[in-house]
Every structure is written in structure tokens, then in C-alpha cells.
Amino acid sequence: AISRVFGRQILDSRGNPSVEVDVVLVDGSTGRAAVPSGASTGANEAVELRDGDPRRFHGKGVSKAVAAVNGAIADAVTGLDAEDQALVDAAMIELDGTKDKGRLGANAILGVSLATVKAAAQAHRLPLYRYVGGVGATLLPVPMMNIINGGAHADNPLDFQEFMIAPVGATTFFEAVRMGSEVFHTLRGQLAAAGHSTNVGDEGGFAPDFADADEALTFVVRAIEDSGYRPGTDITVCLDPASSEFFRDGAYAYAGEGRKRSVDEHITYLLELAGRYPITSIEDPMAEDDFDGWKRLTQRAGERLQLVGDDVFCTDADRLLSGIRDGYANAILVKVNQIGTLTETLRTVDTAHRAGYRVVMSHRSGETEDTTIADLAVATGCGQIKTGSLSRSDRTAKYNQLIRIEEELGRAAHYAGAAGPR
């Protein structure tokens, strides 16, 4: 049973405060979890409670969320069985009483939810991925590595937020990391040679002053080739334009390019890019409220492209069910803090898998050293993870944890590869 719950303010990778929670069980087992934070957040995400006091952390303090952890939430969950995750999460949801977790804060609730499962895993002397996923949790995910940052994650004019590489042709997760690291460093050299900045953005990818997606994709493909890999076979390219960020008055406003594209022009442009480059997956190709555009793109390309819903689903099983029913997207990005509890996160993953939608476990642009999502990717067998570039410890911490998990699984481990994701 849970004997003690303690929250504190720590810093995230952008230097903003975030919530960290310790949960201690009666037997002394402990779990610690830190909560991430997005920049290009979906409109329907669970609410991240911020203090709004301009004198402290420029209003971004989370002392109210921490107070909720140490007060009302601690009172409600102390004494509950940590193995009964559904009960603990339901108690917090009921205590909060709002649909968006805005009263106590999803950051408060998620911290307790994840610290609880980690304490329970320790009580069982099991690694987290095994405790949550059972003995069948042996699939290592294909990483989508974000090597060029734009949009809300960088100061450059790139309209699209993320240009990623996926080493589908690797034989193991470790080899995938090696391939990604090599491409990352090759790209650095090529950028420097071309007189571009090699400074990195929020997710550790380079953030040069590229004019448009074509220029970024040209560099990415050349870096793959010059590292000795076959684009499209060994390593594919994935995009997250984060289209909700530039959808205005029914059209897509490409500020960096200085032009507008109608919904149909935007779709045609994305498909044209997917035709000219070895692109296998596009996340948030359409804005979160452009349901018509989502349907049209899915009809045109859903057979051959992975179309990942991030903002449009917000890790919410009910929103995902709308997509399944109405026929848009064919995959979902899963971010624990978009929904706020582990129980709801796992329900969303399950809902996706039952409908044949693929699942990509994901970090946020604001992260910490917490590596829970690495374990959850293996626990759910989802086959794909998005956790940034090959630099910055907040990103590599997740890759390093997956390297350890692969090592621990030994011969039982298998890497998802090209066909792997279920």
C-alpha cells in the first residue's frame, strides 16, 4: 500500500519548472517520476497547472500542482494498493472532478500516477517494462530521431517542426542508435561545410536557417547516403509538420516560406514531398480541427503512409474512437501528459491496437531525465518511439534506457524494424 506521496518542483530541459513526485510504499519500495511539458500543445490536452505568478519563474511555477500532490492527492491515495493502478488513477480523477484535470492539474496527477507504478514495480523486484507489459514485453521500438528542428521548437524560418530519421533496417535497437548517431554527425559536418549553424533546438536536432522543407529533406537524405546507408531501405524519413501551429482561417499559412496553401494544396504538397523523398510517416499532417482535411488525406494516402494523430487525438481514447469511426489517421502519438494518467494512456494504446492503428510512444519538447516512456514503449509492444535527436541528455536518456532494456532482455529481445510495429 502507498504510505507516502511527496511532490517537488524541479527544472525541465528548457529550464522551466516541472513536477517531480516520489511515492513510497509501506514495504519501503519507492518510485520517482518527473512530468514533461509541450510547446506545440493540442487544444484538447489535459491541463498543465501553472501558478501564473509573474514574480516567480515568469509565471510558470508549478507550486500549486505540487501543493495538490502533497495535500489533497496524498490524502486520497495514501493507504491504497499501489498494484491497483486503475484504482489509484480513478481516485485522482474523481478527486479532481473536471474533464480536463484542470483543478488539481494533469501535471500533479501524472506525476503521482507514474511514481506509483514505478514503486509497485520495485515492490515486485521487476523492471518497469516487465511489470507493466509482462513476460511478452520484448519488442524494442524503432526510434524516430528528430535531427532537424523547426516550427515552435527553434527560431529558424522552417514551418515544419520535425524532420526525423527512422533506422528501420537496423538489426538491434543499439544498431539503430549507432546509425542515427552517425547520420547526426555526418549532417553536422555537412551543415558546417555549407556555412549553416549547427546549434540545436529544443529536441536536440539542428536548427539551421533553412528556407523550406525541401532544403531540410535534401540535407537529411544526403546525410543518410554519406553515412553509408540506403535512404528508404536502411533509414526512412518521418515528418511532424505540427500543422495545427500554422492553420489559420481554413488554410495553411507557411510563414517561413511567406505563402499560404489551401487545404487541398497543403495535402498535395505533403504527398508530393512523400513522393520525392523516402518518407514513410507524417505526424499531424493536418491541423487538429481540420477533420475534413484529415479524412481527405487519409483516403488518398492512408494505404501507403503512416499518418500519426498527435494534436487531433491528444492521447484520448474517445477522440481516437472518433478518428477510427470517421476514417482519419492510421496511427496515434501517445504522450502520457496529454491525458494525465497511466491507466488512461494504456486504454488509448489498447483502443488503437484493437482498431489496427499503430502507436508511437512519445516524449514532449520539454523533458527531464525521467525515462518512463522508454519502458512504456517496450511494455506496450508498440514498436515505435519518438524521443528526439542524438544529443541533449533529456533525449539520449531514453535511448540509453532502451539500450539497457535490450541488453537485459538478451536473446529474448527483438527489434521492431521495418515490419515490426503492430
| Binding positions for Zn ion, rule: CB under 5 A | 240, 283-284, 310
Least distance (Å) between residue 343 CB and Zn ion: 23
Q: Which is nearer to ligand PGA, 85 or 365 (CB)?
A: 365
Give strand pairing partners of 166: 236
**Does residue 365 have a known ligand-binding role?**
yes
**Does residue 386 have a known ligand-binding role?**
yes
Other beta carbons within 10 Å of 52: 10
**CA pair distance 403, 249, nearest whole angstrom:** 45
Does the active-site annotation cover 203?
yes
Least distance (Å) between residue 247 CB and ligand PGA: 14
Least distance (Å) between residue 41 CB and ligand PGA: 5
Q: Which is nearer to Zn ion, 283 or 316 (CB)?
A: 283
Q: Which is nearer to Zn ion, 89 or 240 (CB)?
A: 240
Does the active-site annotation cover 64?
no
* Catalytic residue selected from 45, 48, 182, 203: 203
**Does residue 60 have a known ligand-binding role?**
no
**Does residue 364 have a known ligand-binding role?**
yes
- Where on the chain is the footprint of ligand PGA (CB under 6 A)? 38-41, 161, 240, 242, 310, 362, 364-365
Contacts of 126 (CB under 8 A, 6+ apart): none
Q: Nearest CA to 256 among 214, 308, 203? A: 214
Per the listing, cell 493536418 goes with 286
Torsion sign over Cα 406, 410, 412, 417: positive
Least distance (Å) between residue 339 CB and ligand PGA: 14
**Does residue 310 have a known ligand-binding role?**
yes
Q: Which is nearer to Zn ion, 284 or 344 (CB)?
A: 284
> Which partner in ligand PGA, Zn ion, none is near 365 (CB below 5 to 8 A by kind)?
ligand PGA
User: What are the backbone dihedrals phi and psi of residue 149, each rounded to the nearest 5 degrees, phi first?
Assistant: -105, 140
Least distance (Å) between residue 153 CB and ligand PGA: 6
Q: What is the DSSP string of 37-91?
A: B-SS--TTSPP------TTSGGGT--HHHHHHIIIIIHHHHTTS-TT-HHHHHHH
**Does residue 58 have a known ligand-binding role?**
no
* Catalytic residue selected from 60, 101, 118, 335: 335
> Which partner in Zn ion, ligand PGA, none is near 212 (CB below 5 to 8 A by kind)?
none
User: Which helix (DSSP H) or strand (DSSP E) does residue 34 occupy?
Assistant: strand 30-34
> Which partner in ligand PGA, Zn ion, none is near 41 (CB below 5 to 8 A by kind)?
ligand PGA
Contacts of 160 (CB under 8 A, 6+ apart): 150, 151, 213, 216, 239, 240, 241, 242
Per the listing, cell 481540420 goes with 290
The binding site comprises 153, 161-162, 240, 283, 310, 335, 362-365, 386
List residues with catalytic annotation.
203, 335
